[in-house]
Amino acid sequence: MESQENPPAHPAALCIFPARYERHNFSTMTHHEFRAHAHQLADWMADYFENIADYPVKPDVKPGDIKAQLPAGPPLQGEAFEAMMADFQNIILPGMTHWQHPQFFAYFPTGLSGPSVLAEMLTAAMGAQCMIWYTSPAAEELEDRVMEWLREMLGLPSDWVGVIQDTASTATLAALIIAREKATAWAVNKEGLYTAPRLRVYASAQVHSSILKDVRIAGFGEDNLVFIPTDDNYAMIPEALEQAIRNDLAQGFRPACAVAAMGTTSSTAIDPLRPIGEICRRHGVFLHVDAAYAGAALLLPEMRWMSEGMELADSFVFNPHKWMFTNFDCSAFYVRDKAALLRSFEILPEYLKTPEDRLVNNYRDWGIPLGRRFRALKLWFVIRSYGVKGLQAKIREHIRIGQWLAQAVDEAPDFERMAPVPLNLVCFRYCPEGHYSDEALNRINESLLQRLNASGRILLTQTKLNGRYVIRLVAGQTDANLEAVQRGWEMIQEVARGEEGRADAFNPHD
Amino acid sequence: MESQENPPAHPAALCIFPARYERHNFSTMTHHEFRAHAHQLADWMADYFENIADYPVKPDVKPGDIKAQLPAGPPLQGEAFEAMMADFQNIILPGMTHWQHPQFFAYFPTGLSGPSVLAEMLTAAMGAQCMIWYTSPAAEELEDRVMEWLREMLGLPSDWVGVIQDTASTATLAALIIAREKATAWAVNKEGLYTAPRLRVYASAQVHSSILKDVRIAGFGEDNLVFIPTDDNYAMIPEALEQAIRNDLAQGFRPACAVAAMGTTSSTAIDPLRPIGEICRRHGVFLHVDAAYAGAALLLPEMRWMSEGMELADSFVFNPHKWMFTNFDCSAFYVRDKAALLRSFEILPEYLKTPEDRLVNNYRDWGIPLGRRFRALKLWFVIRSYGVKGLQAKIREHIRIGQWLAQAVDEAPDFERMAPVPLNLVCFRYCPEGHYSDEALNRINESLLQRLNASGRILLTQTKLNGRYVIRLVAGQTDANLEAVQRGWEMIQEVARGEEGRADAFNPHD
């Protein structure tokens, strides 16, 4: 019966259908066709992995080149899958930077692996939305279990709880929100920052740019992000943190959060956790550890010096999608205080209530977005395929390669290593004979990097350390191997020295 | 040469490697093995789609059932792929809620399609991180182009720009940040909310819970989210918005943002955009339109009455991953003022600078996270596979099914339709003969829903409208069809009437 209280739908909606509505074939691709195409793509994927070294790492395209090849408007009628695949091959693929290329040494990698890609196939087919237990119980419980595994594998405190986020930026934003709320007894969530004391956030001057962005998003204001000086290793100086906190307290500010970097983006500098943690504890400051890349090294007992003092921290983020062979996106976020996390993010509208709410983890309340992909599956596949020992062997090998390159740079008379190499990121610059100013060297190295990357045979990126332009080489891509790094290092030297007048390095037959 | 300024790496890092380091076989899965497994999974995916109607929509599991079957610790040695797949089949799959099941009528769907899943395979294999143009030029330019297509397809203003986000929660958070910054001339990003005037956000009382969560995250405080009363259609009353803004101005608050719902989660109520937009313009209030689900209906010219006045809005979000057959996650976010978006989110650390920065879109600066998957590919595949007309035909059919069910409910003497049905979400409750209080009806319908869902043959969810418990049925899953909805409606009636004493409906042979 039609409710008295509820008027009918908008008239425009109710009369748009003719009495006799013709039945279409609504499926754009039959199951039979899908099966055939999926097999084609299975081969495409395997071929891609087999041949990836033959692609240019970075495409030789200019802004607008790709877009110009794509029609200005959408097709009215559906097209055959073959037409799309042809365009993918001819237009898209030649315009991609190949992150899985063995000569990809740029940024930090987003390394994947066969088992991870296979898990992504299952995830894509099921298309489950894993916002709460009820909407995918197995996904929730697998995530729970796998995050316990990973906690143990990394040697994190056993009473911490973990959840998968998309990226470290988002996880760090979540940490900042928890810190903000704890510092104000959840008053900001309720009243906003208007009546709060001025909350301060501390991070080393080398910290990732996402911290600044997150500080803005969470409403702290970038003026309240205090950059702490670093030592010669580019690691935070704990005494400087202590001093900054004291200064702020003297001015009536409230120190709320510190972010310690375990592996900065510029040079994988490792902030000393124990002294930082002790200072934070003393002042009631929430300590978040950003180990987005370097966290993978905690798989190695011999690298646990990096996490010495971790039990003093409040939260921790590490991206298996960077250096643990798991498809992007997969960011592991751990917190000490589950209740504080939930209190900061929990919201329970009627349409999301389920009978099991009190018995389960509803990960919707463990971070920013409501909707969530089934990300635990790929992490499970990766850990089980490699086993802990297999993962350790790979990470050890990558660090060994990094150490090899560090030594090679040290031994080259015309190159300068620019930062310590605790892992597998080597920062260096070319310093040809003669007396060049830092400014001149900056120009020389910027030009060197551009020529190297333009070759399509290698991809490196830059940073600045103490105002000096520095080239970064990261040997953490899944297939990173000593031979590839040796080839890369040879090429770097040849191109550098060729530029400086030794043209024979370019063409030895001249 | 070793730099004078830089001390060597942490000694612990430099001495962990024995002089002769044994070379492992670091690959956990050969390309040959990967190819074979990818073909197995191609068949698995196709089988899953063929057989999905045979699975229970929701699994019969209790909290902890799945986790108890998963080992407490990770394996030390790697395992064979077959072992993982067996566990996936025997433990994980039986614990999943099947979002692609034709009897899945719960929440809003996350409908996918063959072409979309195929695109996800390519995306997974390439594993590109699409944060900036340089790291994947084709991904950036395809996203640019496809978002232009979608803008045209939905009839959005032609000068708006679009970007893909993960979810509507995140996109709406971005909108709130832009509104916050515009209202304060970017002072909050710099100084925090401490010195800002008290900023106010307006949304209908029916708005999605993510708005409240986003208001908290952005530091406004939930006390500054003003809920505007709705009319009998559950749509915002523009006059009440005007009044709320005037009240706030009189108190010295600054009205910053209004969120209009195009299709609320409870009942797909459509807020009237034009009067809301005129009020917002008059008072300089940023207007964000949340069309997360219903945006797909804008593909139909006959449904454009919903977006009448859209040119007065400042931003708009619609999730192709809900009702446009594109894998989760894929949320389309459009803004009028690209410069304001960029100014709110832009950050350019040295290690992300590229030669092309001034010529390209670097989507890292268009939202919250830095890292981004290549999501444009699946959207491109979906639009091209269906064509605009194919998408329109499907959406029309789904709306027709919704209208059919609305009429069926209206014609049933013992059911009550609880809200208008502008699209394909029908809100109803069972009202057996006799005089029951609303409270009694709430209990009856809650029990009815639980029994229906426990059957594993159908999945529905609930909401509350004016304090009354309401069952929601959404016919927008990719394979939603009239027959499935008819079967579902029959089952709903049988189970409801069986409960009320007519046991013969359960077992006609008694």
| Across B419-440, average pLDDT | 96
CB contact under 8 A, A368 and B112: no
DSSP B344-376: HH----GGG--TTTTTS--GGGGSS-S-----H
Residue B501 has pLDDT above 50, yes or no: no
Residues 266-295 of chain A with CB under 8 A from chain B are 266, 270
CB contact under 8 A, A128 and B97: yes
Asked if B398 reaches chain A (Cβ–Cβ under 8 Å), the answer is no
Which of A58, A138, A349 lies closest to B92 in CB terms? A138
Q: Residues 6 or more apart from B133 whose CB is under 8 A from it?
A: A63, B140, B141, B354, B356, B360, B361, B362
Residue A12 has pLDDT above 70, yes or no: no
Q: Which residues of A touch B8 (CB under 8 A)?
A: 420
Residue of B nearest to A34 (CA): B114
Q: Which residues of B touch A302 (CB under 8 A)?
A: 12, 16
- B355 pLDDT band, cuts 50/70/90, is confident
* Residue environment code for A6-35, b if the CB has 16+ CB neighbours within 10 A, otherwise e: bebbbeebeebeeeeeeeeebbbbebebbb
Q: Which residues of A touch B220 (CB under 8 A)?
A: 192, 219
Confidence (pLDDT) at B500: 43
| Across B485-489, average pLDDT | 97
Chosen from B96, B262, B389 to mutate, greatest number of chain A CBs within 10 A: B96
Residues 404-463 of chain B with CB under 8 A from chain A are 406, 410, 412-423, 431, 450, 461-463
CB contact under 8 A, A370 and B50: no
How high is the mean pLDDT of chain A? 92
Asked if B377 reaches chain A (Cβ–Cβ under 8 Å), the answer is yes
Residue A20 has pLDDT above 60, yes or no: no
Q: Using the 8-state DSSP alphabet, how is residue B24 labeled?
A: P
Q: Model pTM?
A: 0.93
ipTM: 0.93
Segment among A29-33, B336-340, B502-506 with least mean pLDDT: B502-506
Contact at 8 Å (CB) between A353 and B461? Answer: no
pLDDT in tens, A65-75: 999 999 999 99
Query: Which H or E run contains A404?
Result: helix A376-411
Q: Residues 6 or more apart from A147 whose CB is under 8 A from it?
A: A161, A162, A163, A164, A332, A334, A376
And the tokens for B358? Answer: 């001034």
Structure-token match 């000393």, residue found: A272
pLDDT in tens, B16-41: 333 333 434 456 899 999 999 999 99
Q: What is the CB neighbour count within 10 angstroms for residue B2? A: 15
Residue A509 has pLDDT above 60, yes or no: no
Which of B39, B126, B351 lies closest to A463 in CB terms? B351
Q: Using CA atoms, how far apart are residues A479 and A423, in angstroms rounded to an integer?
A: 16
Domains and CATH numbers, chain B: 117-382 (3.40.640.10)
Q: Residues 6 or more apart from B63 whose CB is under 8 A from it?
A: A133, A137, A356, A359, A360
Which of A97, A387, A420 lies closest to B6 in CB terms? A420
B252, with CB counted inside 10 A (0-12, 13-18, 19+), is: exposed
CB contact under 8 A, A129 and B142: no
Q: Residues 6 or more apart from A463 whose CB is under 8 A from it?
A: A265, A266, A267, A427, A470, A472, B350, B351
CB contact under 8 A, A99 and B135: yes
| Across A64-88, average pLDDT | 96
Check the CA dihedral B444-B449-B451-B452 and report its sign. Answer: positive
Residues 14-43 of chain B with CB under 8 A from chain A are 14, 16-17, 21, 24, 26, 28-29, 31, 33-35, 37-39, 41-43
Residue B298 has pLDDT above 60, yes or no: yes
Q: What is the CB neighbour count within 10 angstroms for residue B474? A: 26
What is the Cα A361 distance to its own chain's centre? 24
Residue of A nearest to B349 (CA): A209
pLDDT in tens, A334-387: 999 999 999 999 988 888 888 888 899 999 999 999 899 999 999 999 999 999
Q: Which residues of A touch B373 (CB under 8 A)?
A: 328-329
The verdict on whether omega for the bond into residue A329 sits within 30 degrees of 0, i.e. cis, is: yes
CB contact under 8 A, B199 and A216: no
Chain A / chain B CB contacts < 8 angstroms? 644
Q: Determine what percent of chain A is predicted with pLDDT higher than 70.
A: 92
Which of B100, B190, B329 lies closest to A373 in CB terms? B329
From A203's Cα to the closest Cα of chain B, the distance in A is 15
Q: Which residues of B touch A29 (CB under 8 A)?
A: 113-115, 385
Check the CA dihedral A147-A149-A150-A155 and report its sign. Answer: positive
From B478's Cα to the closest Cα of chain A, the distance in A is 9
From A139's Cα to the closest Cα of chain B, the distance in A is 7
Residue of B nearest to A212 (CA): B347
Query: Which H or E run contains B335?
Result: strand B331-335
Confidence (pLDDT) at A351: 81
CB contact under 8 A, B70 and A270: no
And the tokens for A478? Answer: 């899944």
| Across A389-394, average pLDDT | 96
- A27 pLDDT band, cuts 50/70/90, is low
Residue of A nearest to B37 (CA): A118
Q: What is the CB neighbour count within 10 angstroms for residue B417? A: 24
Confidence (pLDDT) at A503: 37
CB contact under 8 A, A42 and B41: yes
What is the Cα B289 distance to its own chain's centre? 14
Q: Which residues of B touch A45 (CB under 8 A)?
A: 34-35, 38, 121-122, 124-125
Confidence (pLDDT) at A21: 37
Chosen from B20, B62, B90, B193 to mutate, greatest number of chain A CBs within 10 A: B193
